[in-house]
Structure 1
Amino acid sequence: MAASTKSLASLLAQASLDDHDEVLNAANAAIKKSKTDLDAHHARAVALLHLDRFDDAVKAFEDVKGLQEKAPFEYAYALYKTGNAAKAVEVAEAEGGASRGMKHVLAQAAYRSENFAQAASVYRELASQGVKDEEYDIRINSGAVDAQLEWSGQGELAQKKKPEREDLAVFETAYNAACGSIARAEYAQGEICLKRAKNLCEALSDLSEAEKQAEILPITVQQVFVLTQMGRVDEAEQLATTIPFTEIKELSTRYLAQVNSIAASKDHSNPYLSHRLFHSSPKPPKTDQHFAFQSNLLRQDEYVVSLLSQKVAGVASSTEKVISTAPAPTLSPAVNMAAVLNAAAHSRNAATEKAALKEILPLLEKRPNDVGLILTITHLYVLTGNHAAAAHLLESFFKRLERSGDASDLDVRFAPGLVATLVSLYSQQGRPGASKSELAKAAEYWRKPHKSKTQPPSKALLVSAGTALLDTHNSENIKAAGEIFRNLYDQDNSDRAAIAGLVAAYSITDPSGLPSDLTSLLPEASRLVSDIDAATLEDAGVPLGTLTTTSVQQIEARKRIAPKPELSKPKKMRKSRMPKDFDPNKKMDPERWLPMRDRSYYRPKGKKGKKKMEGLTQGGVVTEEKAPATQAGGQQKAGGGGGGKKKKGKGGKW
């Protein structure tokens, strides 16, 4: 073994850095002599990595005992390159980020496994160490992570919310800044950043024309999407025709480009043709898969194209399979999206919302805890103007989840999106008290530790709940709001919403409890009132604090006299609308619009008229009439109000 190791080491010393085939041959020769030589196996695995034979490298690590422990960095990198990012994260975490290289692998693997919060944390740690050679790469990768945090609904964890000057200096950072703006639906800003990225890329001198084209194509694909979202479909269609799809190397990007071109093209209005083109697009390999939010949208597009092609039964069947794979209730976007499209399939292209409700409501009896189905029915109720039914549906669903007591069910019950939906319905109904109560319950749940932590507490939900509690002007609620904003401030002491809420709450309950470093962040009172002229306000009519005899006289003297309203000239009536015997000099009766009996000068004629008038006049004399004779017990005799028996008609029958 020593001889083989020595010969291998001497060969590696003589070989060049690019001669990985020779290294692989030497390692294989050493392994034939001694299969337990870990150094030879290690050299072979490294050579396989350099030759981009990542699957063979992973197999080498899994077949040789002890090699994973000897070279964990290479093993984690091989797993990452073969598309097994989750396993790579486990290997890197087991080492605890022992080396800087392992931290880079951990960040990249966490990014690909869609654990963007972990990736952002690792990159912040790497950036804090200040290695100059890596500063540029870390800044680019951090921008990509921030964009993915925005797409995944965790925008509060992003380091940057708006592009800075340094982000627009290089085309990679400009492109990442554009993606972040697009994720926040800031399409105008995203278009500006995309144009900047394209111009910077075209101006590079160290790239060949082919390399520039490879970098510009994804930017152009993103521009098509932005123009479509901004409603500039004609421009998007024209730009899509300039994209050479076959030249896009990444199949995931090529697939998105072809799908977006179908959406932006007016020529593909035929749903059957769109369906054929959609399914003819190449599917990306395992190592180039879309992120979850992209896959969900693409699957949704596939179902929609199928529905437009009248493949209703197929969509209903495939979506039911997706729904059955997860227990209800769930917050999975893929499952809930499938539930919405399943409801669309069962509605069978109903013409009206009421007709769709008639078809979909029976599904609720089979799947009472289906979040996607419940939200679909809620939306249909809102479209028909029945907000009360929509609120009742959500309230009933929430009560069922609360009674279950299961931790995962409670996570769904207090999911920020569902809570926001119910609060919006309360707002439509004019029920601010119910809104505040619902927000307070949700904030209390997420602030307390609980078993199932499928998602972190929503910052937007906590801020809304704290603000609602402050508006109640109740001492207990204000104290609870102070605790909410205190927790937010402890997480991020630069958060303006947390600072404002903390000051608003503690200034009422306990001003001494405000953090000492918080006062430096608050603006001075003199600066806030620097542009206010007290004398001008008093002259405008602001009452003074103490009213003396002199001040009252001054205020009375400063009172403005309201100008007399100008009397509008009476409109001249056209002759065609005047009656024949109309006299313009004669004063018209002001009570002419009232019925004659309601006019003040009305006097009835005759005894009947006077008697009827007395009965109608309020306060008049009431005369009692004799009631018909009754039997014992107060019941009238049979025969009704006529009293006597009617004579039989001649020839009539009873």
Structure 2
Amino acid sequence: MAATVEAYSTLAQAIDAGDFAQAVTICRTILANEPLDTDAYRVLVACLIREDKYAAALNSLASARQHGVTELQYEEAYCQYRTGDLADALRTLDAQGGLSATGPYDATAHQKLRAQIYYRQADYVAAMDIYKQLLQRAGSDGTERTDLLTNYIAAQVGYNLQVGQADPTAAASPDNDNRETYELAYNSACRRICAGQYAKAEALLQHALQICRQAGAVEQLPAAEVDREVAIIELQLGHVYQLQGKLVPAETIYTKFFTSPPAKGDTMVDSSTAAVVAQNLAAAGTHASIHQTAVTLRRKNLGLHDARLLKEQRRVLAFNSALLKFHLGRHSAVRRDCRKFQRLFPGYPGFALLQAATYFAQRNPQTGLAELRELTAAHPEVRAYGLAFTQAQLQMGRYRDALDTFQTHLQSLTAIDRYQAGPVAVLLWLYAKLGDPTGAAAIMKDANSHWTSSVTNPDDLPAAVLHQRGQYHLETGKLDAAVRDFQKLVQRDPTNDRHTAALVLALAETDVSAAQTYLPSLPTLPPVEDTAVDQLETTLAGLKLRRSLKRDATDVSTGEASIARKRAQRLKLRAKHRAKYATDSNAKVDPERWLPLHQRSNVKAGKGKRGVQGRRGKDGPQGSAIPGEESGLGGTGSANIGGAAPRPETPAEIPTPTPVSTKPSGKPKAKGKGRAKNPKLGGKW
């Protein structure tokens, strides 16, 4: 007994000194002598949790149950939560009553843990409901409310990422930007990112960095701990830079914590964070080739079941890995992975679309269309499937099928979504491609009726709607209506050159003087001398190549794959020769490069029937008199510039062809030993 008292005294000293590893050793010594000591089990489990040794804590809890200690459900649920066993953690919490290592049953602590489990399970609505109840019971001040608010905003951000859009009331005003602690500022910045407000998110992250460094200095925290907290904030700041298109500062931050080979900065972040950084670097396109990207991601590969990542993060990692294989040409592996990921992440359409895209990449569009048709029929509520099916038909030139598919897709949408400016523009474009102005007029009539009835004041229509309606009026010759629409747009935003140019085009047909008043608002065109002709030639060659590749989709669908490939190879060769003038300063530029080949001065006559005479026509060169022709300049049908040609006094004698005698075909001579004789040439078998 005296030894036990002395051991507890030493245990208290170790805990006061923060030496939890020594405390664990002392507890195990006590339990070796007193295996039924419940207090020793409680202290042992608490110390193991403080040491982040959750698997060892679960083993100690199993030993405690064998010796009759069954009141540590909360600690068991917490350890199961930290090891990723979320389902068992919820079942443990559902057990009734019991004590915890820190005292009697605490309903608030159990609710907090339950909310954290819901958060890890991506059940953000249930987590937010619990945090709302706890916030209502908490006071207006204090550390507890700050922690609850931090977790509530984190659940809110997770929900926004899950549904793909931000709650408009969540970040509507600056009052919702909490700046009390760096955790609150960081989570508020994440909420701004979901709302697409990157400038405000950047300011909040800069504020969080400042508070974090100040808190570390005031509380005299270890430098390593401060560096880890700062690293997370800086990496999120790099992500905001990347979203804003500021790739240079984003890459600077990423490479600070992600180097090859691993350097000092890699110790500031764990493996899960390093994997996310690698994905961001790959998305930024900083690597020289797709193979370098593959090597980088393979070095920082992370399992999709890592408990430290949210479900949305694991889904992004899975999609990026499949997309990388797609760009590497491993189409069979992409289809296999997509089928697996559809089971792991149901409800996300990206994997099914990527699987269908592999068939188009393999020049098998019919199978790809069949996949998209099945997806659209099975899931008409998923807008991505219908739009992808329509896009595939458009690229193959099947405008009638695309129109039918798109109209069927629009029927599943609400009237507000159906009559947005974008869908109406697609319908009008398709009817124009099909040469059906009646259908376009009917669509525009229905859309205009919906637009005018949805607002009390016609001047309050969205700018996109006004622009689409004005563009339709301009193309159909209703110039007065087009002028009214574009004048409203110019009054709203006089700096929009696109609207001003459309207004000038409409006024040029009705009121030239009024159109001239808007001309100074348009940007001036650069002088012809500043035009980079060589660069323009290279750009046009690339555009022709892309148009040809798009047109080849129709050729491939009809089985003319070889013709499509040959045409693409020809255009690539032309683009290569044209690009030579832009890269080689010593290359001699042909001044007649704009002319067709047969009109250039240095063209040489070919041999045989397809020489110069073959190009000039069957009846001879232009300008020569041919017997038997009445036209003045030969047999080309040209005008008689010199007047009527003099008729000969006597008709010209027409030469009579004489038959040419032919020899009977003899026995052909074989040109070599063992050559088979052709029966058509008169030989014998």
Q: TM-score scaled to structure 2, two decimals? A: 0.51
Q: Are the structure 2 counterparts of residues 69 and 434 from structure 1 closer, same or farther at C-alpha, using a change threshold of 3 Å?
A: farther
State the distance in 2 between where 1:341 and 1:10 align: 64
Q: Secondary structure at the match of 1:255?
A: helix
Contact persistence 1:110–1:116 (CA under 8 A): yes
Over residues 322-355 of structure 1, what are the superposed CA-to-partner deviations in whole Å (9 max), with x where a residue is unaligned? Answer: 44x48xxx9522xx221111111111166xxxxx
Is 1:363 equivalent to 2:371 in the alignment? yes
Tell me the CA shift for residue 282 of structure 1.
4.5
Contact persistence 1:146–1:158 (CA under 8 A): no
Aligned to 1:196: 207
Is 1:264 equivalent to 2:278 in the alignment? no
Contact persistence 2:212–2:230 (CA under 8 A): yes
Tell me the CA shift for residue 472 of structure 1.
12
Aligned to 2:354: 341
Tell me the CA shift for residue 209 of structure 1.
4.7
Contact persistence 2:73–2:95 (CA under 8 A): no
Aligned to 2:553: none
State the distance in 2 between where 1:228 and 1:273 align: 20
Letter in 2 for 1:237: E
Is 1:121 equivalent to 2:129 in the alignment? yes
Aligned to 2:245: 231
Tell me the CA shift for residue 419 of structure 1.
11
Tell me the CA shift for residue 312 of structure 1.
2.1
Q: Secondary structure at the match of 1:167?
A: coil
Aligned to 2:559: none
Q: Secondary structure at the match of 2:178?
A: helix
Contact persistence 2:178–2:184 (CA under 8 A): yes
Aligned to 2:319: 300
State the distance in 2 between where 1:313 and 1:567 align: 62
Tell me the CA shift for residue 274 of structure 1.
1.1
Q: Are the structure 2 counterparts of residues 216 and 8 from structure 1 closer, same or farther at C-alpha, using a change threshold of 3 Å?
A: closer
State the distance in 2 between where 1:270 and 1:21 align: 48
Aligned to 1:524: none
Of 256-265 and 65-74, the range deviating more from structure 2: 65-74
Q: Secondary structure at the match of 2:314?
A: helix
Aligned to 2:54: 54
Aligned to 2:197: 186
Taking the TM superposition and a 5 Å limit, the aligned residue runs for 1:21-420 are 21=21, 24-25=24-25, 27-29=27-29, 31-32=31-32, 38-62=38-62, 64-65=65-66, 69-94=70-95, 98-131=106-139, 132-153=142-163, 155-156=166-167, 160-164=171-175, 167-204=178-215, 205-206=217-218, 207=221, 209-243=223-257, 245-266=265-286, 268-283=287-302, 288-323=307-342, 325=343, 332-333=347-348, 336-348=349-361, 357-364=365-372, 369=378, 376-381=388-393, 389=401, 392-393=404-405
Over residues 552-598 of structure 1, what are the superposed CA-to-partner deviations in whole Å (9 max), with x where a residue is unaligned? Answer: xxxxxxxxxxxxx9999xxxxxxxxxxxxxxxxxxxxxxxxxxxxxx
State the distance in 1 between where 2:145 and 2:289 align: 50
Q: Are the structure 2 counterparts of residues 265 and 28 from structure 1 closer, same or farther at C-alpha, using a change threshold of 3 Å?
A: same
Contact persistence 1:76–1:88 (CA under 8 A): yes
Letter in 2 for 1:180: R
Q: Secondary structure at the match of 1:332?
A: coil
Q: Secondary structure at the match of 2:84?
A: coil
Tell me the CA shift for residue 5 of structure 1.
9.6
Q: Are the structure 2 counterparts of residues 472 and 127 from structure 1 closer, same or farther at C-alpha, using a change threshold of 3 Å?
A: closer
Q: Are the structure 2 counterparts of residues 138 and 391 from structure 1 closer, same or farther at C-alpha, using a change threshold of 3 Å?
A: farther
Letter in 2 for 1:81: R
Over residues 220-278 of structure 1, what are the superposed CA-to-partner deviations in whole Å (9 max), with x where a residue is unaligned? Answer: 22233222222233443344344455133222222111221233253x13111111111
Contact persistence 2:372–2:388 (CA under 8 A): no
Q: Are the structure 2 counterparts of residues 101 and 158 from structure 1 closer, same or farther at C-alpha, using a change threshold of 3 Å?
A: farther
State the distance in 1 between where 2:171 and 2:330 align: 44
State the distance in 2 between where 1:261 and 1:42 align: 46
State the distance in 2 between where 1:280 and 1:214 align: 22
Contact persistence 1:149–1:158 (CA under 8 A): no
Over residues 120-178 of structure 1, what are the superposed CA-to-partner deviations in whole Å (9 max), with x where a residue is unaligned? Answer: 22222222223524123223222322222221227449755444376134322221111
Taking the TM superposition and a 5 Å limit, the aligned residue runs for 1:434-473 are none
Q: Are the structure 2 counterparts of residues 105 and 220 from structure 1 closer, same or farther at C-alpha, using a change threshold of 3 Å?
A: same
Taking the TM superposition and a 5 Å limit, the aligned residue runs for 1:562-641 are none
Q: Are the structure 2 counterparts of residues 566 and 361 from structure 1 closer, same or farther at C-alpha, using a change threshold of 3 Å?
A: closer
Taking the TM superposition and a 5 Å limit, the aligned residue runs for 1:483-498 are none
Q: Are the structure 2 counterparts of residues 95 and 203 from structure 1 closer, same or farther at C-alpha, using a change threshold of 3 Å?
A: same
Contact persistence 1:93–1:106 (CA under 8 A): no
State the distance in 2 between where 1:175 and 1:348 align: 42
Over residues 290-325 of structure 1, what are the superposed CA-to-partner deviations in whole Å (9 max), with x where a residue is unaligned? Answer: 2122222222222222222222222123223444x4
State the distance in 2 between where 1:388 and 1:66 align: 76
Q: TM-score scaled to structure 1, two decimals? A: 0.53
Contact persistence 1:80–1:88 (CA under 8 A): yes
Contact persistence 1:111–1:119 (CA under 8 A): yes
Q: Are the structure 2 counterparts of residues 391 and 43 from structure 1 closer, same or farther at C-alpha, using a change threshold of 3 Å?
A: farther
Tell me the CA shift for residue 379 of structure 1.
3.9
Q: Are the structure 2 counterparts of residues 68 and 152 from structure 1 closer, same or farther at C-alpha, using a change threshold of 3 Å?
A: farther
Gaps of 5+ in 2: 98-104, 259-264, 428-441, 457-509, 514-685
Gaps of 5+ in 1: 351-355, 400-412, 436-466, 474-564, 569-654
Contact persistence 1:117–1:157 (CA under 8 A): no
Tell me the CA shift for residue 115 of structure 1.
2.0
Taking the TM superposition and a 5 Å limit, the aligned residue runs for 1:519-530 are none
Letter in 1 for 2:132: R
Q: Are the structure 2 counterparts of residues 43 and 227 from structure 1 closer, same or farther at C-alpha, using a change threshold of 3 Å?
A: closer
Aligned to 1:441: none
State the distance in 2 between where 1:20 and 1:83 align: 24
Over residues 467-487 of structure 1, what are the superposed CA-to-partner deviations in whole Å (9 max), with x where a residue is unaligned? Answer: 99x9699xxxxxxxxxxxxxx
Tell me the CA shift for residue 43 of structure 1.
3.9
Aligned residue pairs, count = 419
State the distance in 1 between where 2:90 and 2:168 align: 20
Q: Secondary structure at the match of 1:44?
A: helix
State the distance in 2 between where 1:421 and 1:306 align: 36
Over residues 380-413 of structure 1, what are the superposed CA-to-partner deviations in whole Å (9 max), with x where a residue is unaligned? Answer: 34677978745754887999xxxxxxxxxxxxx9
Tell me the CA shift for residue 118 of structure 1.
2.2
- Identity %, equivalent residues: 20
Contact persistence 1:5–1:39 (CA under 8 A): no
State the distance in 2 between where 1:319 and 1:285 align: 14
Q: Secondary structure at the match of 2:76?
A: helix
Contact persistence 2:369–2:389 (CA under 8 A): yes
Q: Are the structure 2 counterparts of residues 8 and 159 from structure 1 closer, same or farther at C-alpha, using a change threshold of 3 Å?
A: farther
State the distance in 2 between where 1:4 and 1:156 align: 62
Contact persistence 2:182–2:207 (CA under 8 A): yes
State the distance in 2 between where 1:3 and 1:394 align: 85
Letter in 1 for 2:211: L
Contact persistence 1:167–1:174 (CA under 8 A): yes
State the distance in 2 between where 1:307 and 1:119 align: 37
Letter in 1 for 2:389: I
